[in-house]
Structure 1
């Protein structure tokens, strides 16, 4: 273990104070370390890719366990990845091996083990639709077992694993398409870029390349030289407004933006999903807000990303998040939910 390691070094937002760090490069050492810390009553913070964490400037009063397991095994119709494996590297490996299925999730930063926790999704595809099973450590009983997707309570960008210390992901298994074709294209922007209709498939390698191009244009592919990528990706989830409140929200939008403006929405069970990025921008928060001198700013490419311009603190990021959330709530009566897990601070 190492003392006083800045956790900013382990997160894509590059903020976060110090903690004791234990790095585990095998599943066996990971399980043994977490079991020992739990038995001793020592608080544990699990960190892998660090792409969905906002850690306080005061750090973490316990042990940060770095999940650095990287094994990937590709079989006849599936891939099994250890929890610490770089997610985009997993996707790339499957495509290079001639398989399809995961290509729409290309370029997403973070680890394989985090994908079911967040029910990661992009370009019309969610982990919930692709996951075959997940290997978990039950931290109360010490049992290790494979769990089926039906047990994980998947929802939009969430699962029973999120905001809970009850279980730790050790491995994930995803079904693959052996013919090398992509999952059916379910996102209009991507389908149009590929010259396809929604619901059609294309070669997985072609779809992966286009997804990476689209993500890079929005500052959503990690690049140490581009501060627009010093972020946690999309900071807020797209809000799902229940049917009982949809007219109220549409009326607020009409009042402030205009009755004839096209509002990007998607019908979902029990309500309507609105675009968080669209609401943020129409609430007065433009790309690059609040300005060139601010240490924390909205991305200059995508209003849904809150970024560290090089010297931001966690407090700076949190303050910007609060300002944006309160502005959207005041103007449109919509409460935005943060997607990152916060440690040692609240929004």
Structure 2
């Protein structure tokens, strides 16, 4: 196990998040095996010490004060491909593996199922927590099970995906600290063909119909191109990628709430303007957060705090650090956008990242 730094050399958590924001950790440990990860978590729990399990830092907003406890970075590695019958494949991956490297590995091995999730930053262990999704595919579509450390009992158990409460950008694990993902298993297909293409923009760019399949390598290439065009592929020299990805989830409303929202839309942007909406759970509709943000007056590149933070110049859902921001700056911009959308349309936006030591 990596020796934690001395008290005179605190680890700055901004160096471990894609937003490049966050203060120091009181203690920082890098766990390189599942056994080490279990040991650190169990020891901290026994001592009743605050603990933050850190993956790729792509979905975290950490306060400027940092974290007054142990931060354990998930540095575990390992992948295994088990080819089953009838072209089915099970992929088992340790939680500390880089997600996009895993997707690239499946594409290189002609496995279908993960290609639409190319370019998403972070580690494998975070994907079921958030039920990560993009371009018509979510983790719930491919996840078989996870191995969890139950922090209450100290036991490791395998939990089927069906018991994780996977829903739009959430699960029973999100926002809670009673379990730690150690590894995950995914059901893929052999033969080099993608999952059915479900996202219209991706289908158009590929030149196929919605519902068709395409070569996994081509799908990955196009998804990465689309994400780069929106500033959603990490680039150290591009401040548009100094973000936590989409900062707000697409709001889900009960159908009987829709007329009031449409009245506000008509009053603000005109009765002939169609607000995009999509089916969600029974009796509910999903709205486009990006559409609402833009129509509320927050365009791409909208900035705050003397330009230290802004909406991405490529995508209004990403809140970005322009290089010298603080977490307080970012949250001020987030509050401005959230409150502006609510004032304009009566819809409340909710943050997608996990907030550590701060609130919105």
Q: TM-score range by the shorter chain?
A: over 0.9
Q: Which one of the candidate residues 80, 83, 106 is aligned to 1:73?
A: 80
Cα distance in 1 between the residues matched to 2:307 and 2:78? 40
1:330 maps to: 343
Partner of 1:286: 299
1:290 CA drift (Å): 2.1
CA distance in structure 2 between the partners assigned to 1:122 and 1:337 by the alignment:
18
2:142 is aligned with 1:151? no
Q: Contact conserved, 1:42 with 1:63, CA < 8 A, in 2?
A: yes
> 5+ residue gaps in structure 1?
none
Alignment of 1:37 onto 2:44: yes
Query: Which residue does the alignment assign to 1:83?
Result: 95
| Secondary structure of the corresponding residue to residue 252 of structure 1 | helix
How far apart in 2 are the matches of 1:292 and 1:151?
43
Take 1:292 and 1:228, find their aligned partners in 2: how far apart are those partners? 16
2:304–2:333 CA contact under 8 A, matched in 1: no
In 2, the alpha carbon distance for the partners of 1:201 and 1:133 equals 25
The Cα shift of 1:292 comes to: 10
Tell me, what secondary structure is at the counterpart of 1:136? Answer: strand
**Which residue does the alignment assign to 2:12?**
6
| Of 211, 219, 224, the match for 1:199 | 211
SS at match of 1:225: coil
CA deviation digits over 1:139-184, x for unaligned, max 9?
0101111100111011110000001111100000111111211111
Q: How does 1:1-347 map to 2 (within 5 A)?
A: 1-2=4-5, 3=7, 4-19=10-25, 20-76=27-83, 77-269=89-281, 270-290=283-303, 293-347=306-360
Q: What's the TM-score, normalizing by structure 2?
A: 0.95
> 1:51–1:109: 8 Å Cα contact kept in structure 2?
yes
1:135 is paired with a residue whose SS is: strand
Whether the 8 Å contact between 2:111 and 2:216 is mirrored in structure 1 is: yes
Large movers: runs of 4+ above 3 Å: none
CA distance in 2, matches of 1:216, 1:135: 33
Q: Deviations over 1:183-241 (max 9, x none)?
A: 11110000010111111110111101000000000000000010000000000000011
More divergent stretch after superposition (74-83 vs 307-316)? 74-83
* CA distance in structure 2 between the partners assigned to 1:46 and 1:117 by the alignment: 12
Question: How far did 1:339 drift?
Answer: 0.2
How far off is 1:75 after superposition? 2.1
CA distance in 2, matches of 1:214, 1:291: 27
Partners of 1:10 and 1:75 lie apart in 2 by: 33
Contact 2:300/2:315 (CA < 8 Å) preserved in 1? Answer: yes
Q: What SS class does the counterpart of residue 234 from structure 1 fall into? A: coil
Alignment gaps of 5+ in structure 2: 84-88
RMSD: 1.0
Q: Tell me, what secondary structure is at the counterpart of 1:156? A: coil
CA contact (8 A) 2:130 2:174 kept: yes
Counterparts of 2:166 and 2:152, CA distance in 1: 22
Count of aligned residue pairs for this structure pair: 347
1:70, distance to aligned residue in structure 2 (A):
2.0
Compute the displacement of 1:293 (Å): 4.6
CA distance in 2, matches of 1:293, 1:153: 42
Q: Return the TM-score normalized by structure 1.
A: 0.98
